[in-house]
Amino acid sequence: MILWASLLPVLLQIRIALAVSKLTIETTSGPVTGIINSTTPHVAQFLGVPFAEQPVGARRWLPAILKTREESIDATKFGSQCPQFDGNGSNIIYDYARGFLNPPEPMGEDCLSVNIWAPLTKNATYNETESLPVIVWLYGGGFYNGGANAPYQIPSPWVERSQKHIVVAINYRVNIFGFPSARGLKLTEQNLGLLDQRLGLEWVRSNIANFGGDPERITLWGQSAGAMSVDFYNLAYPEDPIVSGLIMESGTALLPFGEGNEQHSNFTFVAENLGCGNLSAQGELACMRNISWTDIISFIKTYSDAATTPPLIFLYVVDNSTFFSNYTARALAGNFTKKPAITGTNKQEGQAFVLPYDPVTGVNLTEADATTYGFFACPDLQTSKDRYAAGAKTYRYQYAGNFSNISPLPWTGAYHSSEEPMVFGTYGIERGGGTEFEAEVSRAMQDRWLAFAEDPVEGLERVGWDAYKPGGNDALFGSGALAVQPVAESILDDRCKHID
C-alpha cells in the first residue's frame, strides 16, 4: 500500500505524458497549470482560468473584455464566484439538497473565469489525433445566484467515465452586478451577465483546441436560468453562433420569469441607501463604483430577507441585442441559430418552489402542478413547436427519476434541478452512493447528451431517440423500471392542450 501511494504521482505523470503531455497549457490568457486528483485520476482539471479582465474598480458594471496575457496562471483551484447571497427562506434545496448550492467562499468581483475538465486518455475507439466534443455549462440560480463549483455540478465523474468529451463551465455575473439596470449605463450595457456568457464562449472557441477539444463541436448546455440563457443566446447570435448544438434543461426563452427594472429605480434605491443619492446618472454610477461589493450585497440581502415590498429585482432588460421582447415571433421568423437542441423538463418541477411545505405531507399539489406546467412543461412545448415550425431539429425529454438520496422526502419526486446529478454523475455524494438503477439512469442520460455533443444532427437518432414532431414520441428517463423509454408527447403534455 505504501509502495502504491509513492508510485501514484509518477504513474499519473506518465499517463499525462501519454495524453495531454503536460498540465501546463498555453491560452490567450497565458499558460495555465492545472491539477489532477485521486478521485478522478484520468481527468485534467483547469480551474478558475480568467477569460476576461476582471470587472473591478472602474470596470465594474461594464461589458467584459478579453483577458490580456499573464506570465503564468495557477489553475489548481476554483476562482471566486460572482457577488451574490443566499436568502433566509426555507425550501427543499436549501433544507435537504445542499449539493446544489455553491460554497460561500471564495466570492468576489474577480469572478469571470472558466473551469475545464478534460480526459487524460482518449477512448481506444478514438484516433489519437481526433479532437473531442466540448460541452459548455451555464449554471442556473435565477440570475441572482449560482456558480460553477456547486458539488452536484462538478463534471469530473462524467469525464472520467466517458474519456470522450471535455466540459467547460463559465462563471458569469448575476444580481445587481450582472443586471444592474443603472441609468448611467447605455442600454447595450445592462445585460452584463449575458454578455459575459458570450465572451466566455469566444474564449473557449479560441483556446479549446489546446486542451484537445474541437472548436467546431461546441454544445451550449444549461439548466433553469442557465437553460434560459442558452435559448437567449440561441436567439441573439444567429449570424455567429460559435456553438453546434444546444441543451436546455428546465428552461427556455419562453419561461415566464419576468424582466428587470427598466425605470432604473431599483439601482437608484440601492445607491441612495449607500450614500450615493441625489446625483446625476453618471455621478450615481461613479459613486457606486466606490462602494465595496460586500456592502452592496449586504444591503440587498437585508432588504430581501426582511421580505420588504416592492422587491428589489435585478434581471435582464429588453435591449434587442441579447434579450428581446417577443421570442415566439422571433423564432417563427427564423431569427435564431437553428442549431439542433435537446430540451425538456422534470415531472414534478413545482415541488421545489411551492411554500410553505410540510416534510411529511408535502405541498399544495394544485399549486405545484400549476408551476410545473405553467412555468416549465408548457413553455417547453411551445418552444419545441416554434422550433419545429421553423425547421430546427429538437429532441424532447422528461426526467421522472425519484431517488431517495437526491429526493429525500417521499413526495418531492423529480423536482426542479434533480436531474443535474444524474447527468454530472454526482448523484452519490449525498446520503449514500445510489442504487444500480440510479446509475443506469445516469448512464442513459450521459450517453445521450454525449451522443448529441458528438453529432448534434444525427447522433441521437443513431441511439433510437427520434426528433420532435407534433404527436410523436419524446424520451422518458427514470420512470418505472426503465432507464429510458419512448413516451407519447400527448401523455406528457396533456395539460398544455391550449397550445396549438
Question: Top-level CATH class of 2-258+319-492?
Answer: alpha beta
- Band the pLDDT of 433: cuts 50, 70, 90: confident
- Alpha carbons 88 and 211: distance in angstroms, whole number: 41
417: phi > 0 → left, psi -120 to 50 → alpha, else beta; which? left
Domain ranges within the chain, ordered by starting residue? 2-258+319-492
pLDDT at position 9 over 60: no
Rounded Cα distance between 232 and 247, Å, is 12
Q: Residue 120's closest CA among 216, 21, 208?
A: 21
Render pLDDT for 264-287 as a digit per residue (tens, 0 to 9). Answer: 999 999 999 999 999 999 999 999
pLDDT at 312: 95
Residue 128 has a pLDDT of: 52
Per-residue model confidence as pLDDT tens digits over 48-101: 999 999 999 999 999 999 999 999 999 999 999 999 999 888 889 999 999 999
**Mean pLDDT on 323-344:** 96
pLDDT for 122 equals: 45
**CB neighbours of residue 95 within 10 Å:** 13
**pLDDT digit string, tens, across residues 361-390:** 999 999 999 999 999 999 999 999 999 999
Query: Residue range 340-357: average pLDDT?
Result: 96
Q: Measuring CA to CA, which residue among 131, 169, 134, 163 is closest to residue 150? A: 169
pLDDT, residue 156, reads 98
Rounded Cα distance between 352 and 375, Å, is 13
Which pLDDT score is estimated for 498?
Answer: 66
Residues catalogued as catalytic: 224, 349, 416
275: exposed, middle or buried (Cβ count in 10 Å: 0-12, 13-18, 19+): exposed
Cα separation, 400 vs 427, in Å, equals 15
Q: Which three cell numbers stand for residue 160?
A: 472520467
Beta bridge partners of 118: 44
Under DSSP, the state recorded for 44 is E
> Would you state the pLDDT for residue 16?
35
What's the rounded Cα separation, in Å, for the pair 366 and 377? 15
Residue 36 CA, chain-centre distance (Å), reads 23
pLDDT value at residue 500: 55
pTM as predicted: 0.94
Is residue 186's pLDDT more than 90? Answer: yes
Q: CB of 362 within 8 A of CB of 309?
A: no
Query: What whole-number distance in Å separates Cα of residue 306 and Cα of residue 88?
Result: 9
Indicate if the pLDDT at residue 130 is higher than 90: no
Q: What is the mean pLDDT of the chain?
A: 93
pLDDT category at 124 given cuts 50, 70, 90 is very low
In order, the DSSP letters of 402-423 are --TTTS-STTT-S-TTTTHHHH
189 pLDDT band, cuts 50/70/90, is very high
Confidence at residue 13, expressed as pLDDT on a 0 to 100 scale: 37
pLDDT of residue 499: 63
Count CB atoms within 10 A of the CB of residue 47.
21
Residue 494 pLDDT level (bands cut at 50, 70, 90): confident
pLDDT tens for each residue of 139-182: 999 999 999 999 999 999 999 999 999 999 999 999 999 999 99
Q: What percent of the chain has pLDDT over 70?
A: 93
| C-alpha distance from residue 225 to each of 144, 146, 496 (Å) | 9, 10, 22
Q: What integer pLDDT is reported at residue 12 of this predicted model?
A: 36
